[in-house]
Amino acid sequence: MAVVTGAASGIGQATALQLACEGASVVLVDVCDSEETQALLREHGARSVCVTADVSDPRTATTARDAALRHFSAASVLVNVAGLPDVAPEPGIACVDLDRWMRVMAVNLNGPFLMARALLPDMQAAGAGAIVNVSSMAGRLYSLNATPAYTASKAGLLGLTRHLASDYGAFGIRVNAICPGSVDTPMLRGSLDSRDAATRSDPATQRRRDRVAAVRSMTALGRMSTAAEQASVIAFLASRDAAFVTGVALDTNGGFYMA
């Protein structure tokens, strides 16, 4: 039984589908409606339940845990995918006001912390479990098209991953992260296209496009990833095939950053 946040779209939707195809029942957590994902899972004969709520609200994690227990069983897998992109209008810290900084941290870092805190006791009681956190290449390096808040939140998530892996390994619980490069999802497309058609060719948007084009040209595989390709790696880390893998930040960037 798996809990997936950010399940309404992109990597989260692809992950929910992949886990469902592998036999999991899934609690779909998203601030937006996850009905499209639920319909996809249903087509594949999988059971799911939607929790429409904000992961930065501490009540959401408890609601997701309760939904899992009520409809299925205690969660053995948690995938923290939900995240905010936080596009930078200009380089530098001046464009990040405190409210924005707090919001990005609340969703990208507090969210995974709250979800893990709610679900780990059941995993501990079962003596098994897997958590996969979706960080970013920004967490390993820096973001090419988002703010310092995004980079810091994703780097913080890697720290949380390592610490939980260390604390919970003895209980049979593995905690890992993936660090995607550019993935063709609504989030990336949204960061490239201004919602306002009149500003679509503004210098800031053009600069972000140039940076993403540069990433693509510097990526060994020469293209963006699909959400399904990220979901496959997440599903691997969540599976028994990765039984001896924990505390890892797995680079899923097509060879842009190699370490």
Catalytic residues: 150
Q: Does 38 participate in binding ligand NAD (rule CB under 6 A)?
A: no
CB neighbours of residue 141 within 10 Å: 17
Q: Does 74 participate in binding ligand NAD (rule CB under 6 A)?
A: no
Could you tell me the smallest distance in angstroms from the CB atom of residue 29 to ligand NAD?
6
Single residue of 17, 82, 88, 233 touching ligand NAD by CB under 6 A: 82
Could you tell me the smallest distance in angstroms from the CB atom of residue 73 to ligand NAD?
23
Could you tell me the smallest distance in angstroms from the CB atom of residue 143 to ligand NAD?
9
Helix/strand/coil for 112: helix
Q: Please say which residue, 136 or 161, places its beta carbon nearer to ligand NAD.
A: 136
Residues 90-119 that bind ligand NAD (CB under 6 A): 107
> What CA–CA distance (Å, rounded) separates 51 from 116?
16
Beta partners for residue 5, in sequence order: 29
Q: Does 136 participate in binding ligand NAD (rule CB under 6 A)?
A: yes
Q: What is the largest CA-CA distance in the chain?
A: 56
CA dist 141 → 51, 54, 251, 253, 254 (Å) = 33, 27, 11, 12, 15
> What is the per-residue binding string for ligand NAD in 16-35, x denoting contact by CB under 6 A?
--------------xxx---
CB 212 within 8 A of CB 137: no
> What CA–CA distance (Å, rounded) separates 163 from 166?
5
Give contact residues for ligand NAD (rule: CB under 6 A): 5-6, 8-12, 30-32, 54-56, 81-84, 107, 134, 136, 180, 182-183, 185-188, 227
